[in-house]
Amino acid sequence: MTAYGSSLTAEHFGYCGVDDMSRIIVLGLENCPEWNSIFEKENEPVDMDLVEKEIMGTALGAVKDHPEIGAFVLECTDLPPFGPAIRDATGLPVFSFSTMAGYMALMLGEINLY
């Protein structure tokens, strides 16, 4: 899931070693007006409850349309706060730069899960 799906292309995935896009579904939030107002109207208030509903609608619609989805990756740095809600609503794992940082901290011994 990303802010603008058309901006995340097969070329980007290729740089990460992903050559087969047949199992990748890029979800953009272009059709979420309140979400887009964050970027278009930077100094105006945003209804974060509505933003969450738009993001959840996108996630749930994706699972309905593509039941083979096995996880979500949140590309946009504004999306991790919505990760738990996506996970709870879909029952699927959600990954983001926040989870990546957590894995790095774990591997470096900065945190301990034992």
Per-residue pLDDT of the chain (114 residues; tens, 9 = 90+): 999 999 999 999 999 899 999 999 999 999 999 999 988 888 889 999 999 999 999 999 999 999 999 999 999 889 999 999 999 999 999 999 888 888 899 889 888 777
Q: How far apart are CA 109 and CA 85, in angstroms?
A: 28
Q: How far apart are CA 95 and CA 99, in angstroms?
A: 6
pTM for the model stands at: 0.85
Closest by CA to 57, choosing from 88, 26, 89, 81, is 89
Q: How far apart are CA 91 and CA 111, in angstroms?
A: 26
Which residue carries 């349309």 as its tokens?
A: 65
pLDDT recorded at residue 110: 87
